[in-house]
Amino acid sequence: MKKLTTFEKAFIGQFVMVVTNMTQNASVSNDEGLIESAEIPVTMTGFLIDADDDYYYLGNTPDEVLTCIKKGMINQISLAMDEFDMFAQEANPNGVVN
């Protein structure tokens, strides 16, 4: 049986945010309210379904691969809240269970 890596234990099957080293142009307001052009990193969210030597595989559900990202194009992967988690947090911001 294959021993799971720390990465696999932490992220496989979880809803994640992936920050890539690709950028896109966006318009943002500065402190004076003026619109400026800025380059921001391309981010993706989804369930991290699987990984191989070259790619990470993401999906909108934990069961169906929607896209893959080449490992060399990634700056960061972190756990992200999905819509259900965000709704639950908004409904109960203090985390108090009655």
Residues 6+ apart with CB under 8 A from 23: 39, 40, 41, 42
User: What pLDDT, on the 0 to 100 scale, is given for residue 41?
Assistant: 94
Residue of 91 and 43 predicted with greater confidence: 43
Q: In 1-98, at which residue ranges do the beta strands (DSSP E only) sit?
A: 15-29, 35-51, 55-59, 67-70, 74-79
Looking at residue 20, its pLDDT comes to 96
Prediction pTM value:
0.71
**Domain ranges across the chain:** 6-91
Given a cut of 50, whether residue 98 has pLDDT beyond it is: no
**Which two structure tokens, joined as six digits, stand for 79?**
């756990």
